[in-house]
Structure 1
Amino acid sequence: MTMKLTILGSGSPEAYIRRASTGYLLEIGTDKILFDCGGGVVDNLIRSNRLPKDITHLFFTHYHSDHMMDYARLVHAAWDEGGAPIKVFGPKPLAKINEGYFGPDGVLQNDLRARTEAVPSQQVWVARGGTLPRPWPMPEITEIEPGFSYQGNGWTLGSAEATHGQPILECLAFSVEHEGKKFVYSGDTGINDRVAALSQDADFLLHWCYRGSGEEVHPVLQAMSPDPKDVAQMAQGAGVKRLYLTHFRIHMDTDAGHAAARNDLATHFDGEADIVEDLQTYQI
């Protein structure tokens, strides 16, 4: 049994028709594992012929908006479809974020009261096969730190600290191993030894790329935003077999930009490598 990866969002915070914000679906058996849930990810989940209630696990790398803007929509839609509570993992303050949406004083309190207390809404719910009283959404929340590991149904997740939004945001990268294969998702990160170690001998590395080939930006941003050459060199040193770049920005999505990125990948990395697009799928 292989792992199947579907790209649900390969973009950035920029509103962009070609790319939703960040989200990646990894399917292993009956488990459907979502990494991050940025704006547009739920739409692409539906376009991929899946429903919010199908998601079993959600792992957040960090809480920049482009990685979590669709969280409330995902949980609410899965709840409204009668799905089981999603197991949600992420760094602090995940519990506070969830409470801010779905708690008794959360921003969705009026909607949830109307759907669960108003008689017409109750009858719609019963007609769809639901029972009363109807509880509010209750995702299973687990706050995690770098080094966290998790044992799923035939798969093992590992994590490492990413270099990105500290000290305001805790940031993570994740690995998943299943039947001798290893998938790694970098999250948003500068090149660092922890993520390189997590990527060691990965069969498939999905790595963010927020800077075009040779693009010069503010030195502080540049140190935390590797370009395709930087990522390729790290992956080559870590023994990665397949390398794919994601998180492309609008100005990077030109023919020349893609050609330069692919040239850097081919020059500095020996394995299969390319740039992902929304709704593409890969077998790992």
Structure 2
Amino acid sequence: MKLTILGSGSPEAYARRASTGYLLEIGNDRILFDCGGGVFDNLVRSGRLPSDITHLFFSHLHTDHMMDYARLVHAAWDEGAPPLKVWGPSPIARITEDYFGRDGVLSADLYARTELKPSQEVWLARGGTLPRPWPAPEVFEIKPGFSFEGNGWRLNSCEVPHAQPAFDCMAFSVESGGKKFVYSGDAAICDDLEHLSADADLLLHWCYRLSGEAVHPALSEKCPTPQDIAKMAARAGARRLLISHFRIHMDSEEGHESARKDLRAYFAGPAEIVEDLNVYRI
């Protein structure tokens, strides 16, 4: 398995980090976890095309995890790719219809591209045929506990505390070739995630605050520190730990050293803060 960090940031506008998105490649499958703002551009910068994505899984539907969804679908469609397969919690089906349906927010654009003669001629010159259908992602609404069998890989999931009851929030594990990758989504420390992370070869966990920050109890309850994450990873027996989802104020040398100090103190294996476009072999 190969993991590429396409977005390691937060909802904040930030040149250094796109919002959340992670690409996992297994054989011919290119599996995207979340698709926040800036992820599309980093996908292209990484040398891939939108049409390369074969599976898209949403951990939850905060905008920093799905703002580039419509862009990805539209661009892959414009390349002539088959419909993208998408899995995510409710209301991802309604969101998709609201983008690409006949009365959706992109309907004027899609009408112009499929019905106007100049656009049709451009499409034909690129090897397309008429009539040109509208984008139609294959959307599957899922609940925590969902599992999926891919081509040589298996995905499992669990619920994680984050933004309930607005929507379901999930973490995912992927196992292939005797190796295990776990993506926390945005998650408070919880027994289900610790169980899902058991013996992971690589655990990728969000980190939205540093140790010692003065925050409201509602935030501290849902947003673990590097120390909290490192302790959980150690209990789970994870072999390698990556932390991501860094906010601007955390991204100083002092902030990084604080996080690295906690990781070293409470987790014995390799551990680091990721950056956009980092690549890891699992």
With the shorter chain as reference, the TM-score category is: over 0.9
Q: Counterparts of 2:238 and 2:211 in 1: how far apart (Å)?
A: 20
Question: Are 1:116 and 2:114 matched, yes or no?
Answer: yes
**Counterpart amino acid of 1:257?**
G
* Separation of aligned partners in 2, 1:27 and 1:215: 36
Is there any run of 5+ residues in structure 1 with no aligned partner, and where? none
* CA deviation after TM superposition for structure 1 residue 214, in Å: 2.1
Residue among 104, 121, 135 paired with 1:137: 135
TM alignment of 1:119-268, pairs within 5 A: 119-268=117-266
1:53 & 1:167 partners in 2: Cα distance?
34
SS of the residue corresponding to residue 58 of structure 1 reads: strand
Shift of 1:213: 2.2
Shift in Å, 1:20? 0.2
Partner deviation per Cα, 1:213-262 (whole Å, 9 max, x = no partner): 22121001100000000000000000000000000000000111100100
User: 2-side partners of 1:167 and 1:56: how far apart?
Assistant: 30
Matched, 1:103 2:80: no
* Deviation larger for 211-220 or 133-142: 211-220
The aligned amino acid for 1:251 is H
Q: Conserved in 2, the CA contact under 8 Å of 1:38 and 1:67?
A: yes
Q: TM-score, normalised by structure 1?
A: 0.99
Q: Secondary structure at the match of 1:105?
A: coil
Distance in 1, Cα, partners of 2:228 & 2:210: 11
CA distance in 1, matches of 2:183, 2:244: 10
In 2, the alpha carbon distance for the partners of 1:214 and 1:27 equals: 37
Deviation at 1:85, TM superposition (A): 1.2
Corresponding pairs, count: 282
| Structure 2 counterpart SS, 1:196 | helix
CA distance in 1, matches of 2:251, 2:271: 17
CA distance, structure 2, for counterparts of residue 124 and residue 162 of structure 1: 46
Supply the distance in 2 between the matched residues of 1:173 and 1:21 (Cα, whole angstroms).
Answer: 17
Aligned partner of residue 45 in structure 1, secondary structure: helix
Moved more, 211-220 or 248-257: 211-220
| Percent of aligned pairs sharing the same letter | 69
State the TM-score, normalized to the length of structure 2. 0.99
Q: How does 1:21-32 map to 2 (within 5 A)?
A: 21-32=19-30
The alpha-carbon deviation at position 162 of structure 1 amounts to 1.2
The runs of at least 4 consecutive aligned structure 1 residues that moved more than 6 Å come to none
What SS is found at the alignment partner of 2:259? helix
Aligned to 1:205, the other structure's residue is in SS state strand
How many angstroms apart in 1 are the aligned matches of 2:83 and 2:24? 18
Please report the RMSD computed on the Cα atoms of aligned residues, expressed in angstroms: 0.5
State the AA in 2 paired with 1:249. Answer: R
How far, CA to CA, are the matches of 1:214 and 1:56 in structure 2? Answer: 41
Contact 1:190 1:225 (C-alpha < 8 Å) held by counterparts: yes
Question: What is the rounded CA distance, in whole Å, between the counterparts of 1:29 and 1:155 in structure 2?
Answer: 9
**Residue type of the partner of 2:79?**
E
Question: Paired residue for 1:60?
Answer: 58
Shift of 1:130: 0.4
Q: 2:52 matched to 1:42?
A: no
- The reply to whether residue 81 of structure 1 matches residue 84 of structure 2 is no
